Structure 1
């Protein structure tokens, strides 16, 4: 589809500004103190709003809104919209601050502290034939889990880390090992409440205000701030059989993964890891996993090898475990892993879903959590995954000591192509996530090395014409954003023009720049 002249002009104005001449710093934020809000604004202690999990970008806002209601969010955005292009103010919604490269920051603008809404609004669970939870977008997924479990229910699709807000993950996609079956979190939403870039409040669903509904899901905050969401639920399992096995052959590893995600009778969660040049690997697991054959496992030598870990779970009822255990046995018999590397554990459902938080607590105690995280998250088409692995795991990647490397397949059919999220145009594609940490106490410039590695990976994909898509994208130029969205770029721009014509929202994503008229 060719872009219309109006869309081209709109994008050009937003990306370059109406007038490139510099003007005095914007002082219009002082008018915010006159707004009648249920919550409050802070103007001095704003440093926390300039920090995120990535710990690389720190853009101070002029003000932080701690909303006491959705009306506060709408009034604030409407106020900025009415100031028009003469104001430099922008607005960014900040959840739990887990963005990686300043995406939830607003330099000189207003940051909305969405977690304040979870204290101002209640969460409601509705049981029945089609159960759901209706929750404020500032609520953490761990709180959603605890509340729904009280009713014997649970959301279907998760992220690996639950201390994230609903609005934050729904603005991206929300992916974990259940997505091959249930799709990402954005495929399990029934309704959302949204504040647009004009300060208007809309209730949206697939049949009501449908364009805005699909636009904000995976929309990177560009069309509206999600303030409330209705999430589909299912009966919650009580216990989880948790399994890890190792492979040394990448082809066999991916074939087994693809077989599992394509089968009707399969595991409930499927993920994979890449492990390179790690010693004492199996000893790491022994604290929580038991080897099926301890003698064989004790003789396993992982030093200097690239290995691939397949991680799976099977939900079961502890009062009737036999059927699930038989299914596990049958499924394992179809896999071609290294026999001595079968490790298993049984934990409660909430223990499994909170597995990353356990690691967080340990890292925090060592001062290794609040450090730079130069992550790179890619969606790689199946036709390119072997060339990708040969180059990246065979040549570019030296080891996996700076953080986990995830690699597992997903099904395109479980994604709704009406949303703003973009994925490779193949039925099976892979999430490949390089989750590096760069502690400054190491004495080495790990951050620089990780960033160089990320760039080498991206350049290889471009040179080899592997049609990757970035997940949690960090893209700097209009040309790259157009490539990222492909044929859907015109739709993306049209939605921006409809719902946030002044480009007020989510400036930290760096897709559009607010066009400010010089005084």
Structure 2
């Protein structure tokens, strides 16, 4: 098996006089492309860390492409080296455990393309077979896609809770949020992609053309190619949302009601969360509750220790404004929430989707955003969610009382996922997304990491076959166990599309730092 080496010395002296370029094959790496590299301390320092602030891995150089061809030539150059060097595509750098890093290799700053009109634009179109769609550069942010498509009265249907992420980044994982139960993850709403493989081949792929690569890349953790364009499904956009939060102290009632809501038509968003001492009613995900509401909720929290919050949204516009309240009431009839703990608000469609941004800016202003984030995201089978609540939410998180940050728990439907894709989910028809979105000071993140290990050990010992979302493992055996029946296919796809193991070394699947 080929392994990546540090970048050749001829490429690590960017910024030296012009004769330097004579050591490079001109047909692969021109002087203009060479000028896109950065090896200064600021560039490499930025690319050596990520949102998680848990891992450091310094690249030899950072590449700022001005075109897709630049990336093609970079990968071809590595592929044709006697000992290839590793390459990692970096979008917003929102990974938490070094997944977008390349120790002694090259980090490609994909957002460079969003500033180029030819390479980074957002084009909205329509066809009789696909309906409305947008062609979007892989380095484009989802917030930019939202704003551009709204100019046409359209929007994508599946989102992440945070919109300042790149298209290529979320499609390499799955892209999930409260809309996933209805519309599926973002990878289920892609018609076509342009991908540069680990051989430097530029390939257009879809379900019908080069389908093997198409399914490999979606949820493929960057292992098979770099996404430079995606064709995303669009639908008519609403103007407003009805946003409701209901509180529970009974976890069984909370999950039963969630499972009911995702089994019927009508709602556009369903998520759940925990309210605990260190996970207050309002947090950076959204400031939903008024001060008086928070006092009321805190009184309930004192009594029960843990409160479960069910959050639902129904979209509407000028044509449905007169009927939305009645329709929403019918959808919520029969739910077993605490009757005096129902909170409602109207919001714009854009402000609802972009709700996390305001929390981010507030924390940035206080210096509390750029801190370690030892996040843990899991998919837990429905059949074991009660055991997970007892073992993790109550016996670990509540008793230890050191969790700081939002805790999400909401169900999804397996039939909205395509099993041909690389993404891995539990085998059951319904499974829960668990998001422990923790943050800490520089000195106490290790305690939260130990807590995460305890949670994973509990699942293993209890026979809860949870799957990590945004997975992080350190051994080949752990990765094989994660992919299960998909491992053989995953490895075959790697051999076909990135045989020299050049791409995404930070995932530590086929490479190690």
Tell me the TM-score normalised to structure 1 length.
0.89
Deviation per residue, 1:339-374 (Å, 9 max, x gap): 111111101000000100110011101101110000
Deviation of 1:449 after TM superposition, in Å, equals 1.5
**Distance in 2 between residues matched to 1:116 and 1:283, nearest whole Å:** 32
Report what 1:106 is aligned to.
102
> Which of 410, 414, 424 in structure 1 is aligned with 2:426?
424
The answer to whether the 8 Å contact 2:7/2:86 transfers is no
Match of 1:176 in 2: 177
Return the alpha-carbon distance in structure 2 between the equivalents of residues 514 and 461 of structure 1: 26
Which residue of structure 1 aligns with residue 441 of structure 2? 439
Give the alignment of 1:28-427 within 5 angstroms.
29-30=11-12, 34=24, 35-36=29-30, 37=32, 40-44=36-40, 45-84=43-82, 86-87=83-84, 89-120=85-116, 121=119, 122-127=121-126, 130-264=131-265, 266-277=266-277, 281=281, 288-289=288-289, 297=296, 300-303=299-302, 305-318=305-318, 320-398=320-398, 399=401, 402-427=404-429
> Does structure 1 conserve the Cα–Cα contact (< 8 Å) formed by 2:7 and 2:105?
no
2:282 and 2:365 map into 1 onto residues whose CA distance is 24
Query: 1:348 and 1:127, CA in 2 relative to 1: closer, same or farther beyond 3 A?
Result: farther
Larger relative contact order (Cα-Cα within 8 Å, sequence gap ≥ 6): 1
Q: Please, which runs of 5 or more residues in structure 2 have no aligned partner?
A: 15-20
CA offsets 1:226-247 (integer angstroms, 9 cap, x no match):
1111000000010001111110
Which residue matches 2:458? 460
Say whether the 8 Å CA contact 1:244–1:343 is kept in structure 2: yes
- Which secondary structure state, in structure 2, belongs to the residue aligned with residue 115 of structure 1? helix
Q: Is the Cα–Cα contact under 8 Å of residues 222 and 505 in structure 1 kept in the other structure?
A: yes
The answer to whether the aligner puts 1:503 opposite 2:490 as a matched pair is: no
Is the Cα contact below 8 Å between 2:403 and 2:448 reproduced in 1? no
The structure-2 alpha-carbon separation of the partners of 1:343 and 1:42, relative to structure 1 and needing over 3 Å to count, comes to same
Query: Cα distance, 1:29 vs. partner?
Result: 3.1
- Deviation, 1:454, is 0.3
Q: RMSD of aligned C-alpha atoms? A: 2.6
SS at match of 2:435: strand
Q: Once the two structures are superposed, what CA deviation does each residue of 1:265-284 show, in whole Å capped at 9, x if it has no partner?
A: x3110000012236984899
**Aligned-partner Cα distance in 1 for 2:298–2:214:** 55
**Contact 1:272-1:311 at 8 Å conserved across structures:** yes
Contact persistence 2:173–2:470 (CA under 8 A):
yes
TM-superposed deviation, 1:401: 5.1
* Residues in 1 aligned to 2:376 and 2:285: alpha-carbon distance in whole angstroms: 25
How far 1:320 sits from its partner (Å)?
Answer: 3.7
- Which residue does 2:17 correspond to in 1? none
Distance, in Å, in 2 between the alignment partners of 1:29 and 1:221 is 24
Alignment size in residue pairs:
489
Segments of 5+ residues of structure 1 without an aligned counterpart are: 1-12
Partner of 1:9: none
Give the CA deviation at 1:297. 4.8
The TM-score, its normalising length taken from structure 2, stands at 0.90
* Residues in 2 aligned to 1:340 and 1:49: alpha-carbon distance in whole angstroms: 49
Worse-superposed segment, 476-485 or 317-326: 317-326
Q: CA deviation at 1:446?
A: 2.8
Residue 485, structure 1, aligned to residue 483, structure 2: yes
Cα distance change of structure 1 residues 383 and 320 upon mapping to structure 2, 3 Å threshold: closer
Aligned-pair distance for 1:51?
Answer: 1.6
Shift of 1:417: 0.5
